[in-house]
Amino acid sequence: QVLTQSSIMASYSIPLLALLVAASASSESLHGPFTDDFVDFLQRSPQRNEYALSAYTKYDADGTFGGRMMNESGKISLHPVLFVHGNSDSALFHSDSATGWSESVRHFKENGHMGSSLYGLTYGTRNINHSMTNSISCTNLLGLRSFVEAILEYTQAEKIDIVAHSMGVSLARKAIQGGKVGQSPYLHSHLPTIISQVDAFVAIAGANYGMCLCLMDGLQEQPACGQVPSLSGGTG
């Protein structure tokens, strides 16, 4: 099974999409950062979770979210949902140009989800003036993939739902589909697919075939536009 652009856009569940449509992204975050319980879990496997732990320490409280609160116990009954933001955005509301998933998270919580089933982290710059320096690097790809694996282990869930926007769609798509990654013997040469572990993938305005902005003269060699030699599939 191969995830094409058309199949990705069709791979959603109606209830999940309905929650997203109802939520706007404009208000300040009250949902981050990772909870102490989740951080403790991540620290048990520091090598695998280096990417997530780095985001936790690098960004503010609006840079990460997810995990059990002190008053949460027992099995997490709902599929965990991972939110992957787009170019120069943030996991949660950071500024007027990096609004993140705050209102989506709020709406999901109002409709049955706990914080222990909602996850996200920030990657790259959150300054829109530097958006052309962001790219789908092996670091971001493998870091996101490890984060998915950590969420599944932490929640003991068989499947995860992933909601992504813009560059996050291209990043999450490759993390799910797997395949050839990198040329160096020190990187994974082939990443196994996890399609069977993803129940719903909601792809919002993904740049699977690149960005229209990259057709402009002088931008083709920018990191956000150019082909990354160490990553099969290029950037979006």
More confident residue, 77 or 21: 77
Distance, in Å, from the CA atom of 169 to the CA atom of 9, rounded to the nearest integer, reads 10
Q: What is the DSSP secondary-structure string of 135-148? A: ---HHHHHHHHHHH
More confident residue, 17 or 186: 17
Q: Which residues contact 225 (CB under 8 A, 6 or more apart)?
A: 132, 210, 211, 213, 214, 219, 235
For residue 202, name the pLDDT band (cuts at 50, 70, 90): very high
Strand partners, 34: 66
| pLDDT > 70: percent of the chain | 79
Quick one: tokens of 172? Answer: 């999450």
Hey, what's the torsion of the CAs at 14, 17, 19, 23, to 10 degrees?
Answer: -150
Sequence-ordered alpha helix ranges (H) in the chain: 5-10, 14-22, 36-43, 50-58, 102-110, 138-155, 167-177
Cα dist. 53→64, 95, 168, 202, 222 in Å? 10, 23, 19, 25, 28
0.75 exceeded by pTM: yes
The pLDDT, as a whole number, for residue 3 is 44
Cα dist. 177→135, 193, 203 in Å? 18, 5, 14
Cα dist. 69→90, 115, 201 in Å? 22, 7, 26
Q: What pLDDT digit, counting tens, does each position of 146-196 carry?
A: 999 999 999 999 999 999 999 999 999 999 999 887 655 445 568 899 999
